[in-house]
C-alpha cells in the first residue's frame, strides 16, 4: 500500500478500498478481492485515472453526432417529393419496340377504307339514337315519379315526408352483372392455385 | 285536430323485377362494329411470343421440305411440340366444354310462371286479384293501413303473395308511379270516390323459390308481354316507369 502514490489511485478505487463494502463500481465488476490482491502487484495493473473519462466523453459526442447526421438525412428524404407510381399498362416493354416484331400485312384497299368510314358513320347515328332513347326514358321515369309524389302530397303530408326521406340502406348497391351464358348447374371447376404476382408500389 | 277523411283509398303496389342473367344479343350494327374494332386492333398490334414461335416453326418446316436433309440442331428422336399442335389442343379442349344453353326449356315451352325464361330481359311479377267483382291481372297490391309508410305497404304486398322468405331490394322510399281510378257510380259515395295505387320498384335478390307457395295465380312477364294482361290505362301508367 505504501508504494502507491495518491494520484494514481482513482477516487472510486479509493472509496472501495476505504469502505471495503459490497458496493462495487460498474466498470470494475466484482473486483473487490482481485483489487486487493493487485495492491501488492505493481502499479500497471491499476486502471489509469484519465482514460475512462475520456472514453465516455468521446463516445457520447460521437454517438450524438451520428444521430444528428441520421436525422438530417431523414429530413432531407422526407422533404423530397414522393416518386410517382408507374402505370404498368402505359409502359411498353422494350422487347416490343424491336423491328422484327412488326406485323406484315397487305395494305388496305380503297373499298375497305370506304366501307370502314361508312360503318363508322352508321355507328355514330346508331349510338346517337340509342342515347336519345335512354335520355327520354329517364325523363319519363322522373316525370312519373314527380306526379306520384304530387298526388301523395295531396293525400297526406306525413306520408309524403316519409316518401321523400333518403333511403340509407340503398347504397352501396352491389350486383353481379350478366354473363354470356347462364351458370351451369353442377359444374366442377378444375383445381388449381392462383398466385398473384402484381407489383405493389408504396410511396 | 282530426284529419279530414280523404275520399280516395290508398293502395301500395310492388313491381318486382328479376334482373337479366345473360347479355342481350348484339344488334347488327353492334356486331359489325365489334368485328371492325377487332380488325383494327390486330392491325395495330405487334407479334406476340407465341406468334413468333409459330412463324419460326413454319419457316423451319418449309426449309426442311424444300431441302431433303434434317437440320443440324434437331437431334433425331427428339419430339418437338409445335405451336400449331398446341393451338389445336386448345381448340379441342374448348370444343369439349358444353356451356348452359342461353334459350332454356321454359323459353321453348313458353312456361310463363317460371323464372328461367327470357334470361336476357327483366321479368315482372303479375298476380291475379279480385277488384270489386272482377278478376284482374295486376302488380301485387294491398290496401294501405294507417300507421305504416307506403313502402312498407308495398313490401307487405310482396309478402302476402310470395311469402316471407323472398328477399328484394326496394329502390328508395318514394313511389315511382301512380294510377288512380274512380269507382263505378254504383259504389261511389261521398267518402269513397276512388282509389290511388302507388307503385314501388324492387329488384329480386333471392333466387330460391322452393319454399314459396304462392297464394294466387302469378306470372313472370317481360315488358313487351305486359300488354297481354294489363288494362290499357293501367298499362300506360306502368310503362312510364319501366326501363327496358
Whether B1 shows a pLDDT value over 90: the answer reads no
Number of domains making up chain B: 2
For A158, the closest chain B residue by CA position comes to B149
What local confidence, expressed as pLDDT, does residue B42 receive?
Answer: 92
Q: What is the pLDDT along chain A (203 residues), one digit of tens a residue?
A: 444 444 444 445 444 444 444 454 455 444 555 555 555 555 555 555 555 555 677 788 899 999 999 999 999 888 887 788 888 888 888 888 877 788 888 899 999 999 999 999 999 999 999 999 999 999 999 999 999 999 999 888 999 999 998 888 888 888 888 999 998 888 888 888 989 988 888 87
B25: left (phi over 0), alpha (psi -120 to 50) or beta: beta
Closest CA to B233 of B185, B193, B190, B197: B197
Calculate ∠ Cα B198-B202-B207, nearest 5°. Answer: 145
Instruction: Retrieve residue A194's grid coordinates.
Output: 392462383
ipTM: 0.83
On whether residue B105 sits in a domain, the answer given is no
Which of A103, A106, A123, A144 to substitute to test the interface with B, most B CBs within 10 Å?
A144
Do residues B18 and B123 make contact, with C-beta atoms less than 8 angstroms apart?
yes
How confident is residue B217, by pLDDT bands cut at 50, 70 and 90?
A: confident
Q: How far apart are CA B9 and CA B194, in angstroms?
A: 6
State the DSSP string of B18-48: EPPSBPPPPPHHHHHHHHHHHHHHHHH-B--
Whether residues B116 and B225 share a domain: the answer is yes
Whether residues B17 and B35 share a domain: the answer is no
What local confidence, expressed as pLDDT, does residue B187 receive?
Answer: 75
In terms of pLDDT, which residue wins out, B6 or B153?
Answer: B153
Do residues B189 and B4 make contact, with C-beta atoms less than 8 angstroms apart?
no
Q: Give, as one character, the DSSP assignment of residue B94.
A: H
Interchain contact B55–A (C-beta under 8 A): no
Whether residues B221 and B152 share a domain: the answer is yes
Of the candidates B27, B46, B172, which has its C-beta nearest A102's C-beta? B46
Of the candidates A103, A116, A163, which has its C-beta nearest B36's C-beta? A116
Instruction: Retrieve residue A31's grid coordinates.
Output: 473486483
Instruction: Please report, for chain A, the start and end positions of each structural domain, with discontinuous segments joined by +.
Output: 133-165
Segment B176-214, tens digit of pLDDT: 999 988 888 777 777 778 889 999 999 988 776 666 667
Closest CA to B49 of A95, A40, A80, A24: A95
Segment A3-45, tens digit of pLDDT: 444 444 444 544 444 444 445 445 544 455 555 555 555 555 5
Exposed, middle or buried by CB within 10 Å (0-12, 13-18, 19+), for B30? middle
What local confidence, expressed as pLDDT, does residue A116 receive?
Answer: 96
For A144, the closest chain B residue by CA position comes to B177
C-beta atoms of A181 and B102 within 8 A: yes
Whether residues B184 and B208 share a domain: the answer is yes
Q: How far apart are CA B243 and CA A90, in angstroms?
A: 38
Interchain contact B182–A (C-beta under 8 A): no
Q: How far apart are CA B168 and CA B206, in angstroms?
A: 7
Whether residues B226 and B167 share a domain: the answer is yes
Whether residues B80 and B180 share a domain: the answer is no
State the DSSP string of A41-59: S-GGGSPPSHHHHHHHHHH
Domain that holds residue B161: 8-22+110-240
Q: Give, as one character, the DSSP assignment of residue A102.
A: B
Whether residues B80 and B163 share a domain: the answer is no
Question: Considering only residues 19 to 58 of chain A, which have any Cβ-Cβ distance to chain B shorter than 8 Å?
Answer: none
- Residue labelled with grid coordinates 295505387: B197
Chains A and B: how many Cβ contacts under 8 Å? 127
Give the SS3 label for residue B16: strand
On whether residue B3 sits in a domain, the answer given is no
Closest CA to B151 of B177, B127, B170: B170
On whether residue B59 sits in a domain, the answer given is yes
Do residues A35 and A16 make contact, with C-beta atoms less than 8 angstroms apart?
yes
What local confidence, expressed as pLDDT, does residue B103 receive?
Answer: 87
For A103, the closest chain B residue by CA position comes to B46
Do residues B173 and A167 make contact, with C-beta atoms less than 8 angstroms apart?
yes
Instruction: Retrieve residue A54's grid coordinates.
Output: 475520456
Whether residues B132 and B51 share a domain: the answer is no
Give the SS3 label for residue A111: helix
On whether residue B102 sits in a domain, the answer given is no
Whether residues B88 and B123 share a domain: the answer is no
Which of A118, A159, A185, A190 to substitute to test the interface with B, most B CBs within 10 Å?
A159
Phi, psi of B12 (to 5 degrees): -115, 125
Instruction: Retrieve residue B97's grid coordinates.
Output: 366444354
On whether residue B77 sits in a domain, the answer given is yes
- How many helices (H) and strands (E) are present in chain B, helices listed first? 6, 8
Interchain contact B140–A (C-beta under 8 A): no
What local confidence, expressed as pLDDT, does residue B132 receive?
Answer: 77
Whether residues B15 and B34 share a domain: the answer is no
Whether residues B74 and B134 share a domain: the answer is no
Q: What pTM was estimated for this model as a whole?
A: 0.72
Whether residues B81 and B160 share a domain: the answer is no
Amino acid at each position: 500500500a505504501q508504494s502507491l502514490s495518491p494520484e494514481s489511485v482513482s477516487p472510486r478505487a479509493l472509496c472501495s478500498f476505504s469502505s471495503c463494502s459490497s458496493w462495487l463500481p460498474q466498470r470494475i465488476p466484482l473486483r473487490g478481492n482481485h483489487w486487493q490482491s493487485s495492491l501488492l502487484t505493481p502499479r500497471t495493473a491499476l486502471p489509469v485515472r484519465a482514460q475512462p473519462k475520456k472514453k465516455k466523453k468521446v463516445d457520447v459526442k460521437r454517438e450524438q453526432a451520428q444521430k444528428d447526421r441520421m436525422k438530417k438525412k431523414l429530413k432531407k428524404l422526407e422533404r423530397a417529393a414522393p416518386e410517382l407510381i408507374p402505370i404498368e399498362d402505359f409502359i411498353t416493354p422494350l422487347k416490343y419496340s424491336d423491328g422484327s416484331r412488326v406485323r406484315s400485312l397487305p395494305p388496305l384497299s380503297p373499298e375497305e377504307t370506304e366501307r370502314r368510314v361508312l360503318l363508322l358513320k352508321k355507328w355514330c347515328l346508331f349510338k346517337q339514337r340509342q342515347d336519345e332513347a335512354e335520355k327520354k326514358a329517364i325523363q319519363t321515369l322522373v316525370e312519373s315519379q314527380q306526379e306520384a309524389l304530387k298526388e301523395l302530397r295531396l293525400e297526406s303530408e306525413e306520408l309524403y315526408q316519409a316518401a321523400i326521406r333518403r333511403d340509407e340502406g340503398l347504397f352501396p348497391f352491389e350486383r353481379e352483372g350478366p354473363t354470356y351464358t347462364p351458370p351451369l348447374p353442377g359444374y366442377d371447376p378444375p383445381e388449381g392455385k392462383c398466385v398473384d404476382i402484381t407489383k405493389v408500389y408504396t410511396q | 285536430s282530426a284529419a279530414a277523411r280523404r275520399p280516395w283509398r290508398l293502395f301500395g303496389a310492388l313491381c318486382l323485377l328479376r334482373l337479366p342473367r345473360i347479355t342481350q344479343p348484339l344488334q347488327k350494327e353492334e356486331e359489325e362494329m365489334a368485328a371492325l374494332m377487332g380488325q383494327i386492333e390486330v392491325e395495330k398490334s405487334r407479334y406476340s411470343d407465341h406468334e413468333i414461335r409459330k412463324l419460326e416453326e413454319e419457316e423451319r418446316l418449309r426449309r426442311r421440305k424444300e431441302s431433303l436433309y434434317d437440320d443440324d440442331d434437331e437431334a433425331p428422336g427428339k419430339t418437338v411440340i409445335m405451336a400449331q399442335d398446341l393451338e389445336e389442343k386448345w381448340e379441342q379442349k374448348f370444343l369439349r366444354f358444353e356451356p348452359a344453353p342461353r334459350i332454356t326449356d321454359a323459353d321453348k315451352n313458353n312456361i310463363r310462371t317460371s323464372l328461367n325464361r327470357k334470361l336476357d330481359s327483366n321479368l315482372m311479377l303479375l298476380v291475379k286479384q279480385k277488384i270489386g267483382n272482377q278478376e284482374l291481372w295486376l302488380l301485387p297490391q294491398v290496401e294501405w293501413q294507417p300507421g305504416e309508410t307506403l313502402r312498407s305497404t308495398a313490401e307487405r304486398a310482396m309478402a302476402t303473395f310470395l311469402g316471407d322468405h323472398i328477399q328484394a331490394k326496394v329502390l328508395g322510399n318514394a313511389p315511382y308511379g301512380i294510377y288512380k281510378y274512380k269507382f263505378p257510380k254504383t259504389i261511389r259515395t261521398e267518402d269513397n270516390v276512388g282509389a290511388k295505387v302507388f307503385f314501388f320498384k324492387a329488384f329480386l335478390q333471392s333466387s330460391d323459390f322452393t319454399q314459396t307457395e304462392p297464394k294466387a295465380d302469378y306470372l313472370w312477364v317481360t315488358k313487351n308481354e305486359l300488354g297481354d294482361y294489363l288494362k290499357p290505362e293501367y298499362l300506360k301508367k306502368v310503362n312510364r316507369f319501366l326501363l327496358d
